[in-house]
Amino acid sequence: MHFPPSNVLIPKLTEPRTLLASVEDVRMAATTVAGSAQRLLTIMTHSLEGEVYEYPPFIAAIKRLVLGPRFAKVRVLVLNPGRIMYSRHEFIAIARKLTSYIEIRNAHAAFREHPGTYMIGDDRATLYRLQTSSWDGICELGNPSVARLHLEHFDGIWSGCATPRTQAQST
C-alpha cells in the first residue's frame, strides 16, 4: 500500500456533502469523520480494508479520539471476519492494546449479507458506501438524521452480535 509520508498534511473534507469515487476520497472521508468524533465512532465494515483502516492519518485520528481527555469509544462491527483473522492489521493491534476504548465484534451469519459499509462520528457525520466492492460513496458531515438512521441499523445488529459475556457485563 502506498501512503504519503507522515509529515505531509492530509487535507480534510469541508463540504457538508461530498461524493466519493476513489480510495483516496474514502481515506480522506474516513479520517475526517474519525477526526470529527468527540464521544463515539461507529464502524460497520466487511473486512477492515487496510487501504482505509491502516492509513496513518486515520490511525492517528483514532488514537487522538480514544486517548483524548473525553475517553471516547470506538465500536467496530466486522461482517466478514475471516479475511482479517490471520492478518497483521495495525488497527486490530491498537484495539488489542486499548480494549476499554475500542470494541470489535464479529457479525453473526444472519447479518453478513449487508452489502454496504459505513462509519458514523457521534450522531452527525457519516461515511457510507453502498457496496463494499466499490469505493463509491457519500460523506455527510452535518446531517444528524442520516447519522441516526445508520446508528439505529448498527445498534440493532450490534446488540444481536453480543457475546454472552458482553451481555452480562452490560446489565
Q: Which domains does the chain have, with CATH numbers?
A: 17-170 (3.30.870.10)
pTM above 0.85, yes or no: no
- Reported as a single tens digit per residue, the pLDDT across 90-136 is 888 888 888 889 998 988 887 778 888 999 999 999 999 999 899 99
Kindly indicate the confidence band of residue 83, based on its pLDDT and cuts at 50, 70 and 90: low
* 102-106/117-121 β-pairing: unpaired
Euclidean distance between CA atoms 138 and 98, whole angstroms: 30
Euclidean distance between CA atoms 142 and 82, whole angstroms: 34
Torsion sign across C-alpha atoms 42, 45, 47, 49: negative
